[in-house]
A and B are shown apart, each in its own frame.
Chain A
Amino acid sequence: EAGVAQSPRYKIIEKRQSVAFWCNPISGHATLYWYQQILGQGPKLLIQFQNNGVVDDSQLPKDRFSAERLKGVDSTLKIQPAKLEDSAVYLCASSLDRGRRGEKLFFGSGTQLSVL
């Protein structure tokens, strides 16, 4: 079974530039998550989609971050403009979600962003 695919694997940009990350979840998984993991910290949930609708974006800095999940499959996360403190690993995860019961999340290998 193919896992969660993310690209690029690494990205280096200068502050004030824009960047986009792409995620392809496991086929059939309804829920998609974007996490931000700053060095030395645990992953922080940025945004969560159920199919193509947003269910939680309370921790997304909406002045500079945006995300979309077209057709309820692939998703992109964009930062515009980037700040130094955005340097982190951006993790995408997906889960099957058959309803209100808990489901196991499957993580991609992440995109490591360095903002100089």
Chain B
Amino acid sequence: GEDVEQSLFLSVREGDSSVINCTYTDSSSTYLYWYKQEPGAGLQLLTYIFSNMDMKQDQRLTVLLNKKDKHLSLRIADTQTGDSAIYFCAVLFSGGYNKLIFGAGTRLAVHP
């Protein structure tokens, strides 16, 4: 079956880079997403990568995909206090139909 796993917590110093990791099962993934959720707010789509890509860069965000190891990461360069939030990895599995499965989320804490 489909499953998505993430580490639950990450703490970084302001200005450093953050790397949030995600692993998933099943090989029918098509799109892989990173969502951000701030306290009391909805899900904000940050970036996504198609499964035939290895890397995607979007300003301070870099997504790396290792399809062989079923490993996805999100790197945030020059992390700021405003980046403190929960980050969800989500994988769109496309077996008989498209199904989006979320990880449990990684809480990123940025300290001065």
A31 within 8 Å of B (CB atoms): yes
Q: Given A41-B104, A91-B43, A101-B94, check contact A56 B88 (CB 8 Å).
A: no
A25 within 8 Å of B (CB atoms): no
| Chain B residue with the shortest CB-CB distance to A4 | B42
B46 within 8 Å of A (CB atoms): no
Tell whether, in the assembled complex, residue A97 and residue B43 are in contact, meaning their CB atoms are under 8 Å apart.
Answer: no
A43-81 toward B: CB 8 Å interface, digit per residue (1/0)? Answer: 111001010000110000000000000000000000000
B57 within 8 Å of A (CB atoms): no
Residues of A within 8 A of B103 (CB): 42
Tell whether, in the assembled complex, residue A50 and residue B42 are in contact, meaning their CB atoms are under 8 Å apart.
Answer: no
Q: Given A101-B30, A102-B94, check contact A33 B100 (CB 8 Å).
A: yes
Tell whether, in the assembled complex, residue A108 and residue B98 are in contact, meaning their CB atoms are under 8 Å apart.
Answer: no
Tell whether, in the assembled complex, residue A42 and residue B30 are in contact, meaning their CB atoms are under 8 Å apart.
Answer: no
Chain B contact-residue range equals 20 to 34
Residues of B within 8 A of A24 (CB): none
Q: How far is the CB of B38 from chain A (nearest CB, A)?
A: 13
Residues of A within 8 A of B48 (CB): 104
Residues of A within 8 A of B104 (CB): 41-42
Q: How far is the CB of A50 from chain B (nearest CB, A)?
A: 7
| Chain B residue with the shortest CB-CB distance to A33 | B100
Residues of A within 8 A of B98 (CB): 31, 95, 97, 100, 102-103
Tell whether, in the assembled complex, residue A42 and residue B100 are in contact, meaning their CB atoms are under 8 Å apart.
Answer: no
Tell whether, in the assembled complex, residue A107 and residue B100 are in contact, meaning their CB atoms are under 8 Å apart.
Answer: no
Residues of B within 8 A of A19 (CB): none
Tell whether, in the assembled complex, residue B94 and residue A43 are in contact, meaning their CB atoms are under 8 Å apart.
Answer: no
Which listed residue, B30, B88, B97, touches A48 by the CB 8 Å rule? B97
Name 4 extra pairs, CB < 8 A, besides A42-B104, A102-B31, A103-B31: A44-B102, A45-B100, A91-B43, A100-B94
- B positions within 8 Å CB-CB of A: 4, 30-31, 42-43, 45, 48, 50-51, 88, 92, 94, 96-105
| 6 A-B interface contacts by CB (under 8 A) | A33-B100, A41-B105, A55-B97, A100-B94, A104-B45, A110-B42
